[in-house]
Structures are given as C-alpha cells and as structure tokens.
Copies of this chain bind each other. A is one copy, B any other.
Amino acid sequence: MKVAIVGATGYGGIELIRLLRQHRHVSELSVFSSSQAGTNYDDIYPHVQDIYQGVLKSVDAHQLADEYDVIFVSAPPGVAAELMEYLIDGQAKVIDLSGDFRLLDGSIYEDWYGRPAAKSSLVEKAVYGLSEWNREEIEKAKLIANPGCYPTAVLLGLAPLANDNVIDTSTLIIDAKSGTTGAGKNPSEMTHFAEMNDSLKVYKVNQHKHTPEIEQQLEQWIGTKEPITFTPHLVPMSRGIMATMYAKVSDSLTKTKVEQIYRDAYEKTPFVRINSSRYPATKEVYGSNFTNISYHLDERTGRITVISVIDNLVKGAAGQAIQNMNLMQGFEETEGLWAMPVYP
C-alpha cells in the first residue's frame, strides 16, 4: 500500500511517519510539503537520521489522487478543503487531520474558524473519524474528517453517558488541559520555553474552535442541541491531554449502572481502557494510541466527574488517523498501533 502525507513537517506529520513505519501494510511512504519541497526530511527532523530518508515533494493534487492508496492531510486550515476538490475523484482514500470537514454547518465553521468553509458537497461526503463510535461508516468512507485532539478525549469520555442519556448536557462543563505540542511546531511567545516552563496557562476561554465540534457530536447522540462550556489550558509538558468533565446525572443512575454502561461501551475496543479505582495521569498513555477513562459518581452533588486522558499526537491525531485507515482498509484495527506507552 502506498501512503502519502501532505503537510508532513508538522508534529502531526512526524508522528504519522513514526507510526506508519511500524505498519506492516505500508510499502511506500511519501512526504509532501508546499513550502519545503526538495528538503531532506532528516534536515528538518534530525532524530530520523538513518531511519527515514524521505525527501519532501511539492504538492500536486492530480498526482496525489492517482498514485496513492491513502493520503493523510496534516496541513493548516483550508489546504485540505482546496485539495479535496481534486482528490475526491481520485482512487486514494483521504484522511484529513485538520478541521476542514468536521463541521456540517458551514456557517458555524465560519463563525469559529473565521475563514470560509469547505464546499458543502465535500463536507457531506466526509465521515467523522471517531473510530470507536463511527466504525461502520468509517469502514465505507472515502474521506475521513479526523477528530480534533480535545474532542477525541472529550467525546470518548462522554459517549457512553450521552448515548445512554443519563446526563443532563445542559449542565456539562469540560475543563481540558493539553501539553504544548497541541499548539504546533511554530515558535511563539506563548510556547517559548522560558514563558511556558513551570507555568500553567488558560487560553481561549469559551472561544476554542473545538467547542462546536464537541457540541455537534453530542447533539447527534442525544438528539438535542446544548451549548457547552469548554475551557482549554496549556500545561508545561510536551504531550498529553486530560479532559475533566462534569455533569448532573439522572436520579436513577447508580455506581453499578455507570460501571455497566462504560463496560458495555468499551469492552470490545482495544484502545480504550476503563479504570475507576485509580486516577489517571497523562504519562500513562505517552506515545501510545490509548485512551484512559475514569469516572466518579458523587452522591453529595448528584454529579459525575469523568476524566479522559490521551496522547494528543497519537489518539488525538496521527494514531487515530491510522486506526481509521486500518478500518477503511480492512486491516486489523491495532495494526501499527499496538505499542506500549513509553514510561516513565
């Protein structure tokens, strides 16, 4: 199988390469970049020296559409939307890691992203790639809108409760914390080491563009639309997301029932690990495709606290993208992804 990565120089791109190298069905792995075509990949990322000898190629939509089986697009907003107009008729299946095809309603996209939405005819063709909950559609998809890092952590944590309709989403609060690779590879004041080290930051309160992505999926599960409260924070660590989520539960919800709901939801999914007798830490999934979920029902307040932990670059980006590729191509779901977290 021939695989292409468009926008291969970002942190999502390098993680795709790391994981795809381990994938037994990938025979060729090519990297593309508009801005750095002609550059040896190991000149940008010296840690790949002697392991990956790719040279960045310039992006040619027609060539991509014809020559590859699967194309991952890991580029800034808008790139995939434009490229997809050509790729849609090619043979290649496409997995887009940006937000271009995630929001069904173009006007909501434009409100939150502050830029024109992709053509609705393309958005309609995209399948939202939350692997554990959209498996059947993913298997048949031509185009995957790979979920955002925060939505992945949040939705995997909430899905069992939302699908069983045992929480009141009008009371839902999501307090999310991320390592700084989520902010990308470009140096900025916010992620300058001296400014970020030994410090905790909050940002984009009520304004993060992953908010409508979470709302849209919850609405599909629950049937009613509720605005949620979502707050992202930046933690002085490289990788990892923890989402701490709060909601009022139905009066009838017992601890036994919650346990059963989560067990039923995830007993057959290899990458979701439930454990409510312990408190999770982001390091426990470092470098891996796992999601660790813990939940705590509080009788004093009638609320449930759900904690969901992922590696933002793996399950929150490259790993889930490959998991989706596995589903689309009929491979073992864990192929290339069944590595143990790197600990400590």
Contact = CB atoms under 8 A, between A and B. Distances in A.
A337 to B, nearest CB: 12
- Taken together, the copies of this chain in the complex come to 4
A56 to B, nearest CB: 17
Interface in A294-344: 294, 296, 298, 300-301, 303, 305, 307, 338-344
A198 B227 CA distance: 32
Contact of A199 (B22, B200, B240): B240
Nearest to A196: B193
A281 B46 CA distance: 10
Interface in A276-304: 278-287, 290, 292, 294, 296, 298, 300-301, 303
Contacts of A197: 180, 193, 197-198, 236-238, 344
Interface string A167-211: 000010101010111010101110111111111111111100000
Given A193-B193, A236-B237, A342-B342, A200 B282 contact: yes
A198 B237 contact: yes
A45 interface: yes
A187 B194 CA distance: 9
Interface residues of A, number: 86
Nearest to A189: B187
Contacts of A231: 244, 305
A311 B45 CA distance: 17
A273 B42 CA distance: 12
Contacts of A244: 175, 202, 231, 233
A229 B301 contact: yes
A239 interface: yes
A50 B263 CA distance: 13
A159 interface: no
Contact of A340 (B21, B199, B240): B21
A6 interface: no
A175 B202 CA distance: 12
Contacts of A344: 11, 181, 194-195, 197, 199, 238
Contact of A296 (B21, B189, B206): B206
A75 interface: no
A48 interface: yes
Nearest to A19: B340
A200 B16 CA distance: 24
A229 B246 contact: yes
A301 B344 CA distance: 37
A206 B298 contact: yes
A36 to B, nearest CB: 14
Contacts of A51: 338, 340
A50 B181 CA distance: 27
Interface string A249-282: 0000000000000000000001001010011111
Lowest 8 A-B CB distances belong to which pairs? Answer: A199-B283, A187-B187, A175-B175, A47-B284, A227-B300, A201-B281, A193-B196, A18-B340
